[in-house]
Amino acid sequence: MCGEECINYLHLCYFIESLVRSKKNYELNILGLWLSQMKVLVTEYYFTILYFQNSILKVLLPDLIKVNYINEILFVNFNNLCRSHNKWCLFEFKHQSRTFKRILKVIPSSQIPKGYILCSNDTYFMIKHSFNYTSFIPNASIKFKILEILDEYNHQHANKLITFILHKPLHMPSVLFDKTIVNFISTPKLMHTGDVISIDLSLYGVEKVFDYICFKVVKLLGPVNEFVANDLEHSLIVSQKTKVYGETFIPHYLPSLEWFLLDYRKLNTVTPILPLGLEKYYFDLLKWIRPFLVSKMDGLKPIFIISGLPGSGKSILIEAACKKLGLHYCDIDCNSIISNTLTQINANIKSTLTTAASRSPCILHLKNYHMMSSESDGLDSIQLCESLRNHIDNFTSSYPVIIIASCDDIEMLKGEFVRISLDQMHISLPTEKERTLMISWLTRVHNLVLDRKTKEFVVSETKSCNFDRIKNILCLAEKERIISGDHNLDISHFSTVLGRLTSMERLSATVEWADVGGVELIKKEVVSSLVSSRLLSSRTSSNGARRTGILLHGPPGTGKTLLARAVASQSMRAFVPVNGPDLLNMYVGQSEANVRAVFSRAREAAPCIMFFDELDSIAPNRGNKSDSGGVMDRVVSTLLSEMDSLDSSGDVFILGATNRPDLLDPALLRPGRFDKMLYIGPCQDEDSKLKVLKALSRKFLLKDVHLEDIVKLLPDEVTGATMYGICSTAWLSAARQLIRTGNVKPEAQVTVQMEHFEQAIRQITKS
């Protein structure tokens, strides 16, 4: 009864009730009481539906769920629906012009706020999906009424249950799948044909496995093998006596999932599926997808591009969006699509789209999308893009298929592949706030304990790290804690791990100040510039001035590169070396792209020191007649533009080195770029020579060697490279002498004597 009939019936109830209450008759009063009850039954209520996943509800309301199955309950406040408390009721839910009937049990609870009803995630999904799934507004006020209160309602047991599998973890063994189903129905469950039921593996399968099984009830057979597909008021009990049969996968939406329980016994372990710190990208992704779930858009194909360094969280982000929107996740590596012939590529694209259609509604994640854009083996990228576009335009599916391509850098894609997408997104390195959220989420998921001081240290030291790298650092630090036998994670464990990072994020080999000798004034000048740029730990500046870069120039072998490495190492900053000639490329525009890429890498590795060796090779004076194609002019212009685009935070400091500063373009030597030039020449005084020798031989085992005497044997002008050659030759002579004596044992040590140095000096100076 609904619409005008319901309104007329209510008016009739009110009219009869007013008449019988005016009479002093016991039978008429009973009739009035019955009419008042009927008035309640047909009254339409507005409640806001709240829903939680089954595992969370079990922990949230454990006492109320002990004797009931979650999917058959509506929780209400004690003051709501009083006549139907703890009773089975036939509900009719209404949304727009659609209705949905369901038998549910009303359970009162003081924990439910007034004006709300609480149900399981599966129940909410059944109510929502019975209407138009795509137009239903989450948490909207829904109209419903109780058609009948069933004081004595006994469910029958089902003999046979036939299901369609909607979702299960990849590579899940059939034995574990069967075990999970058996555990699930070990306590009787009320089901109805058309129900979609999800089973949390952490509750019924394997503990600490945060995944689920989802199936749809296709057919229920009662005690007399009676098929009850269309009887909306009829439900059956499924228990261990019921034979369960599973059919193949069918396309279908899934219940929405946003949370999981780390410990199914504790409510405070509820954690979002989406890693914290990625929220802004997540909400943008949802805005992309939702319009295509609401209605079909003629002429628009849902193709989007997400770029970001490996480990930035692209796959995690897409999977979280799938769980939120009830979509399947289907991923494929574009390397498996690329082939030697266009015919085979077309077949691979068609097969990929067909697979996605069979798993719809879904998000098709094309990994390594840049491989589609690369030209190799005679394949034309324009032809390949046109083929991809044609297949997508002609592609049809009963449910939506959203295509999201991912790559490391959108600059790697040809323009044709970018233009077929509707929108693009780049996941950059996390900010300090985002890293703090990521570390909090990871420590919670992996059950790690960090005190405030340690967490602040990790946040400050992972500035050049993305989500995956931060996760690895935390796990490796926990490994160090276990190996050392300590009870708590502290800064020392993270310092050990951070020291092992690759040269992209940290120095591959630490260079200490003691390894650099004879350039004390140069070291002080560079350090003061770093302090003014807020790169050192103090991050203060005495005069507020900031310097972008310093140019080191001088003859070869004077220690320019060594000094740059020592500065980066001792300031605990990442070192990004750039060899000038390596940036040049024969293809048009590729050299400029290499310059932009290296600056992009430096920004992502910030705070860092960017070191350009052989700077004159990529920044010669513009307007040179020998540059007929203007290639080097464009490279220099790109270099100047990228240097100017560095922000004012001082997180990227540039050191350049050259033997010929006269060949450099003058525009590089203005303030804001390389605004100071430091000359590093050969050692001329005995004091500087002595400091270099001490630095080079500090790890040698010396016997009867006086470095002051060796300094007097050196030429008037000598470079650090020459002295390095003398020291290495002396050590090698001592090692050969030890071998000739035959006294070579594991504990034997090479002892360098005065005669070895004298021999090395004669050998090096003659050459």
**Per-residue pLDDT reduced to its tens digit, 292-308:** 887 777 778 899 999 98
Is residue 206's pLDDT more than 80? no
Nearest C-alpha neighbor of 700 from the set 764, 767, 759, 756: 756
Residues 6+ apart with CB under 8 A from 586: none
Per-residue confidence (pLDDT) for residue 363, from 0 to 100: 94
Nearest C-alpha neighbor of 501 from the set 565, 438, 572: 572
The CA distance from 109 to 47, in Å, is: 15
The average confidence (pLDDT) of the chain is 78
Please indicate whether residue 131 or residue 163 has the higher confidence score (pLDDT): 163
Q: Kindly state the tokens that stand for 581.
A: 């000639």
Is residue 344's pLDDT more than 90? no
- The verdict on whether omega for the bond into residue 556 sits within 30 degrees of 0, i.e. cis, is no
- Mean pLDDT on 419-443: 90
The CA distance from 517 to 707, in Å, is: 14
Sign (positive or negative) of CA dihedral 119, 121, 123, 125: positive
3-class SS at 609?
A: strand
Sign (positive or negative) of CA dihedral 408, 258, 163, 184: positive
Helix-helix angle 381-393:342-358, to 10 degrees: 30
Per-residue confidence (pLDDT) for residue 750, from 0 to 100: 82
pLDDT tier for residue 310 given thresholds of 50, 70 and 90: confident
Which range, 390-399, 530-539, 568-577, 601-610, is most confident?
Answer: 390-399
* Number of Cα atoms under 13 Å in the Cβ half of residue 170: 4
Exposed, middle or buried: residue 11 (CB in 10 Å: 0-12, 13-18, 19+)? Answer: exposed
pLDDT tier for residue 517 given thresholds of 50, 70 and 90: low
Per-residue confidence (pLDDT) for residue 392, from 0 to 100: 87
Is residue 213's pLDDT more than 50? yes
Is residue 112's pLDDT more than 60? yes
pTM of the model: 0.72
- Mean pLDDT on 586-591: 77
Residues 6+ apart with CB under 8 A from 471: 442
Is residue 125's pLDDT more than 70? yes
- The verdict on whether omega for the bond into residue 361 sits within 30 degrees of 0, i.e. cis, is yes
pLDDT tier for residue 291 given thresholds of 50, 70 and 90: confident
Percent of the chain with pLDDT over 70: 81
The CA distance from 359 to 167, in Å, is: 10
Per-residue confidence (pLDDT) for residue 539, from 0 to 100: 45
Q: What are the backbone angles phi and psi of residue 555, rounded to the nearest 5°? A: -60, 160
The CA distance from 552 to 264, in Å, is: 61
Is residue 329's pLDDT more than 90? yes
Q: Is residue 203 within 8 Å of residue 55, measured between CB atoms?
A: yes
Q: Is residue 757 within 8 Å of residue 736, measured between CB atoms?
A: no
